[in-house]
Amino acid sequence: MLSGVRTQLLQPGRSRLSPGSRAGLGAALVLLALVSAVELADGRAANYIALMVAAPFLAAALASWRIVLGVGAAASVLGASFALAEENVSLSTAVAVAGIALGTGIAAAVAAVRQRQAEQIAELSKLAAVAQQAVLRPLGPRVGTLSVAGRYISSTAKAEIGGDLYEAIDTPYGVRMIIGDVRGKGLEAVRLASIVLGSYRHVAYERSDLRGVVADLDRAVARSVGDEDFVTAALVEERGGTLTIVNCGHPAPLLLRRGAVIPLEPPAPAPPLGFMPVVRPRVERLEPGDRLLLFTDGLGEARRDGEFFPTADRAWRLLGHGTVGDGLASLETALVEWVHGRLDDDIALVLMEYTGSPGGATAAVPSWEVGAAES
């Protein structure tokens, strides 16, 4: 009888069951089989059929409402069969059979509500992911004279999407890049990330000074968030071999040079965007072959058994060879292996390589950077 019900639920032409539905159906059928075995061993009296009402509720936790109805129908048929096998059907036995039928209806309703909510959540997550992909345009492989690659690693520990952001564009003032992290999760974080990137894609072409870009972005964030919301960000400009970095509460980029890994900490700390940061630029002269890794704090927070991923120790071995895209792929593989596939936060990564100015020519250092470059 149980095999007949299972065959009916899995008729050819029907959509294949999801893992959750299979688990719920299997658990419910096991329960029905156990109760049936106990009833058969106990004799003609139907003493345990009331336990069969648990089967549709067990299925409702994971399976669809149609499967719940099928399980409930099987439970009702089995309960009625054991009840009719009694010499005289008692009132308690009749009530137990009726309870199975009533419980099936309630369990099916619960499963339908759960299934509808799950579908709505899945649809919202899908739409949010599409929106996030639209916000984060693909980078590279070349931006100006630089080789550039970007990568977004989604968290598997949480279903929520994050507000990590990055961009790299070729402007009259050199190649400019931004990486940032919006406080919070979900669609609101994606909305704020899109505001920051939209503003950046405009002002990066208009402001000759990165501090002016920061001021414009700060105003854009302040107009769009509450008092406790903010965006950490690091902005980078490469111009004729001169690298300029301003940092607004963001993890310091890592410079990879001849086997060494150098954190480019800012000269002075500055708060995130939204808190009126006053930044001091850090200026470095690049050498051909230098690589720069920009990342969000999800990389610094990745850990297993309380031990953080050794980014600085392994950065050159993972990122210093092959193309910049190969480097980011190696870093992601090593990171996912380190945390056993479970990240607590999304991670945005940008890796750029400086190959030298065309023809050996170098552009003049912007006047406002001269003092920093000489110090």
Place of tokens 């607590």: 344
Q: What is the mean pLDDT of residues 235-258?
A: 96
Place of tokens 């009840």: 83
Domain residues for the domain of 219 are: 136-354
Give the pTM: 0.67
Q: Which residue has the higher pLDDT, 242 or 48?
A: 242
Positive or negative, the CA dihedral 196, 197, 200, 202 is negative
Positive or negative, the CA dihedral 313, 317, 323, 325 is negative
The answer on 144 and 37 residing in a single domain is: no
How far apart are alpha carbons 235 and 245 in whole angstroms?
6
Q: How many CA atoms lie within 13 A of 184 on its CB side?
A: 14
Q: What is the mean pLDDT of residues 30-56?
A: 86
pLDDT digits 0-9 by tens, 293-339: 999 999 988 988 889 999 999 999 999 999 999 999 999 999 999 99
How far apart are alpha carbons 78 and 76 in whole angstroms?
5
When pLDDT is cut at 50, 70 and 90, the band that residue 156 belongs to is: low
Confidence check: pLDDT of 32 > 70: yes
Contact (CB, 8 A) for 49 and 79: yes
Q: What is the mean pLDDT of residues 272-289?
A: 95
Contact (CB, 8 A) for 194 and 233: no
Quote the mean pLDDT of the chain.
85
Contact (CB, 8 A) for 146 and 352: yes
Please check whether residue 141 lies inside any domain of the structure.
yes
Q: Which residue has the higher pLDDT, 43 or 271?
A: 271
pLDDT of residue 86: 77
Q: What is the mean pLDDT of residues 191-210?
A: 94
Q: Which residue has the higher pLDDT, 256 or 3?
A: 256
The answer on 185 and 216 residing in a single domain is: yes
The answer on 221 and 81 residing in a single domain is: no
Contact (CB, 8 A) for 171 and 230: no
How far apart are alpha carbons 1 and 37 in whole angstroms?
13
The answer on 114 and 156 residing in a single domain is: no
Structural domain total, the chain: 2
Token pair in block for residue 42: 């106990």
pLDDT digits 0-9 by tens, 90-130: 888 888 889 999 999 999 999 999 888 888 877 776 766 66
The answer on 219 and 251 residing in a single domain is: yes
The answer on 237 and 124 residing in a single domain is: no
The answer on 308 and 202 residing in a single domain is: yes
Contact (CB, 8 A) for 222 and 274: yes
Weakest-pLDDT range from 2-11, 167-176, 258-267: 2-11
Beta bridge partners of 285: 242
pLDDT of residue 342: 85
pLDDT of residue 128: 63
